Amino acid sequence: MEFLRFLENLRTPWLDQIMLFITSFGEELVFIGIAVTLLWCINKYQGYYMLSVGFIGMQINQLLKVLFRIERPWVRDPSFEAVEAAKAQATGYSFPSGHTQNSVGTFGSIARWCKTRWISIVCWTLAVLVAFSRMYLGVHTPADVLVSFGIAVILVFALYPLFRDADKNPRRVRILLCVLLVWAIAQILFMEFFSFPAEAQGERLYSGLKNAYKIAGVAIGFIIAFELDLRYIRFETKAVWWAQVIKLIVGLALTFGVKELGGLVFDMIPYEPVGKALEYLVMVLFAACVWPLTFRWFAGLGKKGAA
């Protein structure tokens, strides 16, 4: 808290805006957008690598949040003030930092996969800046940030060998995705049936439960998509640059549209966490199975253009 107070004294309106912009790189939509770009346009196994790092990191993050149940800095010390505009995205418990987890997983996995030195430097710098922004804005303590940073770095380096040669040895990826699903189910059962203290009950615990269901939906979607691609789809990511741009823009719009439509439809399910699992399951199946069916057509556009 003393370090957060030190940063609080350095705040200015323009620096607040800069840090709010930087911290947005740790949000889930940025992670999904970059991962899908890699999956569709660069290297599908790099996309699976980033998505696995991200979703396993989220799973660990949510588990630690409900186990430790540490309050946000301004709740623990009412005399401390966080930047008001940052509070909207700072829901749930404080420890560990989800934004830090996302940013290090996203940009760390790019740096690990990419062999270009300047890209690696930019990625790690951005990851560090996002982590720092969470403390500057007053929504996380150094402990929240450092633990998330460490977990994400371990995942970045531990999972890389599994995906580096995934096209030659897909069995390891299958096992990893199945482990993610089993873990998600176990976490759901834990949160559904464990007797948490009375003070832990409420929206924050319920939010963690919804996230556990969401990860289960994601895991099921990726298991189905990975198998369908290996056996039937076998999509390629190559196309001329303008076809890639169209493929990416239209695909992202449709993917997020499917997610929003799924959210509206599955909101009618009486138990919200189940609806959240189905929402993410449908989104993953569209992004990894349905939309890739168009990739041969986009690649053909390139050939016609070249001719």
100-118 tens-digit pLDDT: 999 999 999 999 998 889 9
Residue 15 pLDDT = 94
Q: SS3 of 236, please?
A: coil
CA distance 51 to 298: 24
One DSSP character per residue, 90-121 reads: --S--SS-HHHHHHHHHHHHHHHH---HHHHH
- For residue 92 the two structure tokens come to 């749930």
Instruction: Write the CB contacts of 239 (distance below 8 Å, at least 6 apart in sequence).
Output: 41, 247, 295, 298, 299, 301, 302
Q: Three-class SS of residue 137?
A: coil
Average pLDDT value for the chain? 90
Tens of pLDDT, residues 255-277? 989 989 988 999 889 999 999 99
pLDDT at 305: 44
What is the widest separation between alpha-carbon atoms in the chain? 69
* Residue pLDDT, tens place only, 53-109: 999 998 899 889 888 888 899 888 888 988 888 888 777 788 999 999 999 999 999
- The span from the CA of 23 to the CA of 130, in Å, is 5
* 150-185 confidence digits (pLDDT tens): 999 999 999 999 888 887 888 888 899 899 899 989
Q: What is the pLDDT of residue 136?
A: 94
Percentages of the chain per state (helix, strand, coil), in multiples of 5: 80, 0, 20
- Domain boundaries defined on the chain: 1-168, 170-307
Percent of residues, the chain, with pLDDT higher than 70: 97
Whether residue 137 is predicted with pLDDT greater than 90 in this model: the reply is yes
Written as six digits, the tokens of 9 are: 């004294």
**pLDDT for residue 303:** 67
